[in-house]
Structure formats: C-alpha cells, structure tokens
Chains A and B, each alone.
Chain A
Amino acid sequence: MLNRGYYDRFGGAFIPEILVPTFDELEQAFNDAQADPAFWQEYVELMSTYSCRATPLTRCDNLTGHFGGAQIYIKREDLNHTGAHKANNVMGQGLLTKRMGKTRVIAETGAGQHGVATATMAAKFGFDCTIYMGELDVERQRPNVFWMERMGAEVIPVTDGSRILKDAINEAFRDWVTNMDNTHYVLGTACGPHPFPTMVSWFQSIIGKEAREQILEAHGKLPRRAYACVGGGSNAMGLFSGFFDDPEVELVGVEAGGRGHGIGEHASRLAYDDASIGIAQGYKTYFLQDEDGQMQDTHSVSAGLDYVGVSPILASLHDNGRVRFEAATDKEVVEAMELTVRREGLIPALESSHGFVQAFKEVGDLDPQDAIIINQSGRADKDIFTVADAVKDPKWEEFIIAKAEEYRKHA
C-alpha cells in the first residue's frame, strides 16, 4: 500500500486484501492528476461548460434585514447541474476513471443527489453505471430514482442492515471487490479509505476557492464565519478548505440533530456526545456505535445527512478545534428552509438547511460590518414529498390523491 492517509489519528485504509492493488492504482492516478496542472484546468473547463461553475455567491438582504447583524451570503452549489455540490466530486472522479481506462462506475447514494450526479456523469462519459441505494431512501427519494433510471443507471435497492446510506456503501464495496478490473467506485463523500477523503475534498475545494475570491470581491474582506451542513462532510470540506489558512474565519459544521440527543434519534457524530472512535467502511473516525462496536441506527429528516460516520478530516478538525460543530433538529431545519424560501426565493435542500439553522441562530449577534457565508449545497426540488408532509400542505395532498386515482384508472 502506497500511503495510509492519516489525519491525526483518523483515516487510514482498512481495506480487504483483494482491493489493495485497486487502491494503489487509484492513489497513483490521483497523485498524477494532482501533479498535472492540465488536469485541474480540464476539470474547471468541464465544470464551467457542463455544470454551472463558478456558482454565484448571493447576497441575501431580506434575510439580513430579518435577523439584523452580519450580512448573509449564500454560496449557490444548488445551481450545479443536477442540483447539488455532488457534481463537483463526480465529474472529477469521472475524469480519473477515464484516465484509469475503466468503463463502469458504481456509487452509493443516500438522498439520491450523488446517485443522480453519478448517473449523469456516466451518461456523458459513456460508462455503465450501477447505483446502490438503501431501500428506505428509495422510498423517500423517488424523484431521484426516476432520473437515475432514465439516464440508464441500474438502481439497486439495498435491503440489508438499516437500509440507508451506510448499507448502500457496504453493498457498493461488495460489488467493487468483484468487479474492480473494469469498475471504479465513485464514493460520494469525504469518507472511506484513503485516498477518498483527500480526493473528494480536493475536487470539492473548488467551492471554497471560488467563495473566498467572491466574498473578497463583494464584501471587501473575509467573512466572519462560514457555515455548512455535515453528513459525510464533502460540501463542508469544499467550502472550509478555502479558509483553512485564514484563522479569523470561524468554520461551523452543522450535523443532523434529528429528534435530539440519544442514540437512534439523530446523526450527530461530533456535535453530540453519543459517538465514539471506531473503524468501519474502511476508515477510522467517530461513529454512532455501541460498546461492542456495532453500528447503530441513525435518524434525520434529510436522507443525505443520515449517516453513521463522518469525514476523518473533519474528525481531526473537530479535535484540534479548527471547526466548531453544532446540530440542527428536524423541526428547526424545516422552519429555516421555509423562511429562506419565503424571504429570498431560494430553495435550500433539507440537508443544506441544517447550515442555515445555525447561521440564523447566531447571525443577529454579529457586527453589521461583518459577513457570513452559508453553503447551499443543494436544492430542495427532490425533497418536495418530505417537505410537503412536514408543512402539511393540503393542496399537495389533494394533487397526489388525484394523481393516484388517475394511475389507478389506467392500471
């Protein structure tokens, strides 16, 4: 093995022996790409013509007026093609897949955003594509499943374990240990064995690079704080990495507080005290597990944050204090989202709305001369069913019932 990839005491590569040469090959390809300025250039070119980079930094005067305090800027990752920051990582790994000469990609997905992004990339590059998705997530994110299948991907519902994101990751690994010769596993977040945490963060660093330039341009100085939601941690790593060398910028990661404290009620590995250090899915980090090391159930209104582990890089930034971690509950998340929709006409995904909750709690205490950035990592179109249920929209319900009647008649 070339490199063990540790961030303080977190990370590593706890992989089955059969994958050792595959990881060596991947690490080599990644190192070559990083050392080749033409690769990053090709990547930025692709993202600016196929997706929507640079994504804007939107100043939100109405929200700023509502809370008083610092000026609120929102980084618009929702404007990426396929509606989330996931495209950044996926297109980058797509270019690497081409370099390695592989013809098939597989991915896990929680909310379905990473699955849709991977299916899109596969369609564009001409790869075969299989997406593993927990059965529960298939149920709550049907619109994304619809698009993945339209784009030619095979979506396999995972019925093992707790039938969510972590189980989809296990299943993707089981595919990979069989098909590594022609297949690349496009892991969707800054987790997993080395080099994934570093590699995914590198592709996502495009967010922070742009945001830093944009805020200096718009506001004339660095922001006071930057907020991002944290599931696996890739959008947070993307935004935060732009400010790692700016100690005056406080970085705030917001996890899924679900229904509040207590194992099984949430997916907060760092903000709450329920997690402990362990090794699963090929890496060492804080996991929500029991004394024996068995992974426990998690809960969040947002499928994309409903994950038992967290990026080992963020775990080290938690322990050294560079990033502060908070949690937002399901209820707070829906409220923050509704407020943002109403005041600014922006539609942050339920995942992204976690970052909004914490920013809204604190922004009023900051100086009006200061600014904050919130990462709107994705858009909420995919969440329409979940949000409609949460806000109990009677007209939506009528619409769905009428639609169902219509299908029933044809059946």
Chain B
Amino acid sequence: MPENKLEQYIRQRREHKDLLLMTHIVLGYPSFDDSLRVVESMVEAGVDLMELQIPFSEPMADGPVILKANSDALSHGARVEKSFELAEQIVQRFDIPFVFMTYYNILFRHGVEKFVDEMAAIGIQGAIIPDLPPEEGEEYLAAMQRHDMAPIHIFTPNSSDERMQLLSERSAGMIYAVARKGVTGKETTFSDDLGDYLARCRAATSLPLALGFGVKSHDDLDFIRGKADIAVVGSETIRVLERDGVDGVAPFIEALQA
C-alpha cells in the first residue's frame, strides 16, 4: 500500500527532528477566536501536528480538564458546523497537518460519509474517534480510505499483541498509544514498564507511533525520545491556557522542546 499523506509528512519531518510534538485543542474553547490564536502560538512555537477536538456532550474517554473544555465550548454555542468553519480557516492558514478528534455520535448524526467528505474537502488529514472500535467502524473506515485520510486507532497497555496488529491494519498515518489506563490528563509514571510497553507497540506496527496521556514536561519528552515518533501533549496545554491565558502557550511549548 502506498504511504498515506500524513505518514509521509511524519517520516519526512522525523529525518530532521528526533521527536515530533502533537498538541490538542478543543474547538471553541475558551472561544472560537481564542482557538485560532492558540493554534497560531503553537505552530509558531514549533508544534509539528495538531488534534482539533470537536466538542461532544458525553466525552467518555476524557478527564476533567478536557471534559470541562468540551462543556464550556458547548455552552458558548459550539455547533459542529462552526467547528468545521474554524478548522477550515486553521488548515488554510497553517502549514502543518491537522487531525480531528471527536466521538462517534458527532459523525453518525452528521452522516458518516458526509462528515468524512467534508473533512477531506477542508484538508483535515485524519481522525481519532475513541469510542469507535474498528468492529463498529466499517462505514467510517471505508470513507477514510477513499480519501486517503488517516483513521488513527489507539493502543493501550491492556491491548494484546494480536489486538495491536488488528488495530494497526485498520489504521493509517500513525498509531496513538496511550501511556496508561484511565482518562486524559491524569498523572503518568514514566518508568521501565512504560518502556517495555512502547517496545511492544513498536513491534506490533510499522506505522509512526505517538505517545499520549499525562505527557507534560521536558523530562517526559526526553523519556519518550527514541521510543516513539511523536509526543502528544493534550490536557496540559489546556491547563496552561487556563492558568496563563493564550500568551502562556508559546513559552510552554518552547520550554517543552528546549
């Protein structure tokens, strides 16, 4: 199979940089205008790719920080249509790949094919749908494949080698490995166990490997370097945003990568 566009980008970028950085924002949080400014600071500070989360009222896999960002965005009137409009502006203005993260009901209600067609039309390169196991994702996977977009599945410490292989076969672009059990934004212990798990992930897929959940410091990135291709910083950037405002984002990203 020819390499997916997102995978190509990651591989090319990796030739010059030993660990890429992916960050996460919730579209419409703290407001639609601020979302755009946050992306701008992140890209300028050297982020390599980004997850744009379309808010959902029942974000089952998310911890308190992203949960609150989802519900705040919704109570400020974040409609799916508006998320698409903002995502389109973002993709046009910034020259890094963007992927969507959201829950399956958002696609299902919109019409799965229509949703994927529209993602493709605005230049989104992939998607992470944490409540859509490949067994339920036939329509989604077919639509993603038609557009050469990346359906990104999740490896977990509980996944068997066999399960990892199946998930890898159904994915394109990259694999998102969660560092531990639980929801987003809680403490992760960066230990030998995690190293062993990452080695198991590495062996199960030839796709680029991203590690997320609880990644928030320069030291964490040092630990991940050499074991995965991409470090994902999610909840922590939202915490920084809450504490220091939009202006706090760039210094935080720069310090991570210093």
- Interface range, B side: 35 or more
Docked pose: A59 CA to B22 CA in angstroms = 67
A174-B60, A293-B108 known; A4-B135 Cβ under 8 A: yes
Say yes or no for B38: interface residue by CB 8 A criterion: no
Residues on A with C-beta less than 8 A from B158 are 18, 20-22, 180
User: Interface majority SS on B: helix, strand, loop or mixed?
Assistant: loop
Shortest distance from the beta carbon of B250 to any chain A beta carbon, whole Å: 30
Instruction: Give the segment of B86-94, B178-186, B198-206 that binds chain A.
Output: B178-186
User: Contact between A281 and B60 (Cβ–Cβ < 8 Å)?
Assistant: yes
User: Contact between B58 and A17 (Cβ–Cβ < 8 Å)?
Assistant: no
Shortest distance from the beta carbon of A276 to any chain B beta carbon, whole Å: 8
Instruction: Give the segment of A7-15, A92-100, A349-357 that binds chain B.
Output: A7-15
Residues on A with C-beta less than 8 A from B64 are 160
Shortest distance from the beta carbon of A349 to any chain B beta carbon, whole Å: 27
Residues on B with C-beta less than 8 A from A292 are 79-80, 106, 109-110
Candidates B60, B61, B133, B178; contact of A1 at CB < 8 Å: B133
- Interface range, A side: 20 to 34
A13-B133, A177-B181 known; A18-B156 Cβ under 8 A: yes
User: Contact between A15 and B133 (Cβ–Cβ < 8 Å)?
Assistant: yes
Say yes or no for A33: interface residue by CB 8 A criterion: no
User: Contact between B71 and A279 (Cβ–Cβ < 8 Å)?
Assistant: no
Q: Using an 8 Å CB-CB cutoff, how does the interface string of B155-198 with A read, 1 for contact, 0 for none?
A: 11111100100010000000000100111001000000000000
Candidates B79, B153, B182, B186; contact of A17 at CB < 8 Å: B153
Q: Which of B109, B159, B186 has the most CB of A within 10 A?
A: B109
Docked pose: A22 CA to B133 CA in angstroms = 14
Q: Using an 8 Å CB-CB cutoff, how does the interface string of B48-83 with A read, 1 for contact, 0 for none?
A: 000000001111110110011001001000011000
Residues on B with C-beta less than 8 A from A170 are 58-60
User: Contact between B109 and A293 (Cβ–Cβ < 8 Å)?
Assistant: yes
Say yes or no for A68: interface residue by CB 8 A criterion: no
Say yes or no for B32: interface residue by CB 8 A criterion: no
Docked pose: A44 CA to B160 CA in angstroms = 37
Residues on A with C-beta less than 8 A from B58 are 161, 166, 170, 280-281, 295
Shortest distance from the beta carbon of B23 to any chain A beta carbon, whole Å: 21
User: Contact between A177 and B136 (Cβ–Cβ < 8 Å)?
Assistant: no
Docked pose: A291 CA to B68 CA in angstroms = 22
Shortest distance from the beta carbon of B27 to any chain A beta carbon, whole Å: 12
**A→B interface (CB under 8 Å):** 1, 4, 12-18, 20-22, 160-161, 166, 170, 173-174, 177-180, 276, 278-282, 289, 291-295
Task: Give the 3 A-B residue pairs with the shortest CB-CB distance, closest first.
Answer: A293-B109, A178-B182, A293-B105
**B→A interface (CB under 8 Å):** 56-61, 63-64, 67-68, 71, 74, 79-80, 103-106, 108-110, 130-133, 135-136, 153-160, 163, 167, 178, 181-183, 186
